[in-house]
Each structure stands twice: as structure tokens, then as C-alpha cells.
């Protein structure tokens, strides 16, 4: 099974918000991503709504025809919004309210009880759940106990170390992916994946189902154009 590409459109919302008007149009951008080959749309509304706003969510739900994935820290406001809109997938991240970007995964052992209750609430609404997590077998064992459907590997360390020693950078991710396969956990991945490292990552992660890419894809589209960029990322996933 080929891994799917979900485009995170947070940066487009950030540009829009910087001028206080609906330009670029977030809904048009999301539809164009799908038309050009994206197989999903990801958003990550944050408490300060500096990019995706809570008001954007129901509008996106109406027009997204592929998979819609909402990421975020599961406080009560976030969970109520997710349950009200029922995306295909909800990716839970352990970000602090003032986090610039997601930079660590869940401690599924320390937060086991909280995650069990949260995941059960979402799954009762028919929403698939994924946990943002580091490639650590003990934490993956903990993830199984929460009953999550999938995990999303935090790939920041891989991307950081890729150019210096790609074989070493991927090693723990490959090992963790094999462990996920044994545990029956679906595998997603995201953070700093780009045109230079995506193919190598994909080819070394058995069972990879989905990657979520935003910042790098939007930057690349400034040079190559959106349609061409999405097709370039798809080529990296398919070869």
C-alpha cells in the first residue's frame, strides 16, 4: 500500500491572517491541493488561532472530499470542536499552549489514563485517532494500551540528522515501525519531511500509511508552483 500525502495548510492560513482578509482563500487552496493530487488535508488549530481558526473547521469540513485530519492538544475546547465536526482522523499532540510547533511526542505511560479516556471519546464518535509519538518501543507499547488506531512518528530528529548520517538517522524509526507492525498499530509520520528526505524515509518505514507535510511543501510551492510541488511529493512517495 502506498503512503498517502496529506497537506497541512496551516501556513496558508498564517499568510491569510497576516493581512486580515480572506486572501489567499483557504478553502480554494484546500480544494486545489486535492485537485492536484493530495489525498488528505491536515489542520492544526492552536489556542491563539495564529493560523487555522476554529471558524475555519466547519467550512473545511464542507468542502474537503479526501481525508480530513485535525491535529491538536486535546483540551475540552478542542475535543468539543472535533466531536462537533467529526473529521476522518484526529491526531493528538502533547503541545503546550504557547508551542511554536510540535516538537515532541506523547509519553503514553505517564498520560495513559488521560489518553485512554480521550481516545475512547473520539472513537465513540466514529473518528480514527492517531497519537503523535517518538520512535520508542516502550512508548509504542503504551500506545497500544490506549487503544489508539494509529501513531504519527515525530520525524524532526530524523530530518535534522538526515544529511549528516541518513543511515543512523533512520535506524530507530525503522526499528519502531517494525514494532508497530507487530503490535498492529497503523503508522503515520510528519514534521520536517521534505523533497530531499521523504523518499528515503518512506522506503525504510514498513507499513507507512500517511505523511502530513505543510511547511516544506508550502515553501517549495513558492518556487515550483502548487500543482507541480504536490506532484513532486507524490513522486517521492511512489518511487
Q: Mind listing the domains of the chain with CATH numbers?
A: 4-238 (3.20.20.70)
How many C-beta atoms lie closer than 10 Å to residue 172's C-beta? 16
What does the pLDDT read at residue 105?
95
Average pLDDT over residues 22-49: 97
Average pLDDT over residues 44-71: 96
C-alpha Rg value of the chain to the nearest Å: 17
- Which positions are catalytic? 44, 71, 191
Q: Given pLDDT bands bounded at 50, 70 and 90, which one contains residue 95?
A: confident
What does the pLDDT read at residue 99?
57
DSSP 3: P
DSSP 230: H
Phi and psi at residue 25, to the nearest 5°: -75, 115
Q: Are 192 and 156 in contact (CB under 8 A)?
A: yes
How many C-beta atoms lie closer than 10 Å to residue 182's C-beta? 10
Indicate the average pLDDT of the chain.
Answer: 96
From first CA to last CA, the distance across the chain in angstroms is 13
Measured at the CA of 60, the angle between CA 54 and CA 61, to 5 degrees, comes to 100
What does the pLDDT read at residue 100?
57
Measure the CA dihedral 80/81/83/87, to 10°.
-160
Strand partners, 131: 92, 151
Amino acid at each position: 500500500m502506498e503512503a498517502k500525502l496529506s497537506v497541512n495548510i496551516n501556513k496558508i492560513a498564517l499568510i491569510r491572517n497576516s493581512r486580515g482578509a480572506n486572501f489567499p482563500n483557504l478553502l480554494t487552496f484546500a480544494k486545489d491541493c486535492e485537485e492536484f493530487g493530495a489525498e488528505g488535508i491536515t489542520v492544526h488549530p492552536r489556542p491563539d488561532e495564529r493560523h487555522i481558526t476554529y471558524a475555519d473547521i466547519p467550512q473545511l469540513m464542507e468542502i474537503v472530499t479526501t481525508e480530513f485530519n485535525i491535529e491538536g492538544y486535546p483540551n475540552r475546547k478542542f475535543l468539543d470542536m472535533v466531536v462537533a465536526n467529526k473529521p476522518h482522523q484526529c491526531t493528538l499532540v502533547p503541545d503546550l499552549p504557547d508551542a511554536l510547533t510540535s516538537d515532541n511526542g506523547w509519553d503514553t505511560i505517564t498520560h495513559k489514563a488521560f489518553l485512554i479516556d480521550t481516545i475512547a471519546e473520539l472513537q465513540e464518535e466514529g473518528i480514527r485517532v492517531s497519537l503523535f509519538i517518538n520512535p520508542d518501543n516502550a512508548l509504542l507499547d503504551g500506545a497500544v494500551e490506549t487503544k489508539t488506531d494509529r501513531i504519527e512518528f515525530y520525524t524532526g530528529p530524523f530530518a535534522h540528522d538526515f544529511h549528516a548520517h541518513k543511515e543512523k538517522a533512520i535506524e530507530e524509526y525503522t526499528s519502531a515501525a517494525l514494532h508497530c507492525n507487530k503490535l498492529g498499530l497503523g503508522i503515520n509520520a510528519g514534521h520536517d519531511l521534505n523533497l530531499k528526505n521523504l523518499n528515503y524515509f518512506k522506503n525504510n518505514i514498513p507499513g507507512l500509511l500517511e505523511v502530513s507535510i505543510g511547511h516544506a511543501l508550502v515553501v517549495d510551492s513558492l518556487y515550483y508552483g502548487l500543482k507541480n510541488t504536490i506532484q513532486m511529493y507524490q513522486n517521492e512517495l511512489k518511487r
